[in-house]
A and B are shown apart, each in its own frame.
Chain A
Amino acid sequence: MHHHLILRVVTKLLVGTIILYALYVQFHGDYSPGGGFQAGVIMAVAFILYGVVFSLASVQQVFPPWLVHKLVALGVLIYAGTGVVSLFLGYNYLDYGAFTPHHPEHGQHYGILVVELGVGVTVTGVMVAIYYAFAGRTPVISDEEW
């Protein structure tokens, strides 16, 4: 899409905003609609949009495939690790009250934030990885064919 000037400029403007919005949905999920799943998808959309309008190579420079593959596993580890930490603190698995024993409400808050972060990281990784896998196999098609 080298000659679509408007698309390229608008994408450059939008990508930052989309990532910012994804972070908002991620970390504001306990006050407003949204959470890890939605934030992960929105975050992935930012990279996919960049990859579609520019090229697969340029988005892979920013977000290399090896990093994406690590993120896929990292998210699940963050989630499961939270549970293990609360186990070691002498509470039940995934009982977030463990993090601040004097004030379980705050612990719940931190726990939910960390867990949602894990979900978000995994979802971002999986979505971008699937896009890479598809786009890596696709022959570049000329605009006229659409």
Chain B
Amino acid sequence: MLVITALTVVRTASLFAVVMLSGVFSLLSALLLVTLDAVDVAFTEAAVGAGISTVLMLSTLALTSRHERPSKLSPVVPLFVVLVTGAALFYGTLDMPNFGSADAPAMLHVYPEYMERSQHEIGVPNVVTGILASYRGYDTLGETAVVFTAGVGVLMLLSGLRRRREDDEDDDGENQRGSG
């Protein structure tokens, strides 16, 4: 399903359809994450990937054009790069432990300790929240700061552009008045 959606995204020229399909793609990957029992991640993927970014892409689309310009470059080199990268990734998965295997590295390192300690140290049933907000409190503070900085950056970029354009228009108006 994911592959079919991705191929359709590549083949479609209407950008509106592409935005909708990328939302579908996000939703499908959220389902994939649910089957992997990563519910928190799936939740985020569904809310951010399928929800917010689709809306933001749509509002970007409203600012620009609604159709993709046909590319004049030859597709051979990009195709080669994609195939090589894909093959390398597939080769990498050969070394990965089987799905759900008990002796996978992720299950052996800090995982048992967190599972054991968090119930009586933090007493929060959702271990993911316990780790994020308490054991890894500094990291989450950093993430919040990153979200904050990104938001402020986007705001400054967008509002700065608008102010400059208004200034330009004022200048033009004065020039015309001067020449008239």
Q: Which A residues are within 8 Å of any B CB, using their own CB?
A: 25, 29-35, 37-38, 41-42, 44-45, 48, 52, 69, 72-73, 75-76, 79-80, 83, 93-94, 96, 104-106, 108-109, 111-112, 115-116, 118-119, 122-123, 125-127, 129-131, 133-139, 141, 145-146
B31 within 8 A of A: no
Question: Which residue of A48, A109, A138 is within 8 Å of B123 (Cβ)?
Answer: A109
**Stretch with Cβ within 8 A of A (4 or more), from B51-59, B68-76, B86-94:** B51-59
Given the known inter-chain contacts A118-B144, A131-B56, A134-B60, please indicate yes or no for A72 contacting B152, CB distance below 8 A.
yes
Any chain A CB within 8 A of the CB of B147? yes
Number of interface residues of B (CB under 8 A): 47
Instruction: Indicate which residue in B44, B129, B154 contacts A30 across the interface (CB closer than 8 Å).
Output: B129
The reply to whether A141 and B40 contact each other, CB–CB distance below 8 Å, is no
Q: Which residues of B contact A119 (CB under 8 A)?
A: 140, 143-144
- Docked Cα-Cα span, A25 to B129, in Å, equals 12
Contact between B159 and A108, CB atoms less than 8 A apart? no
Q: Are A76 and B148 in contact (CB under 8 A)?
A: yes
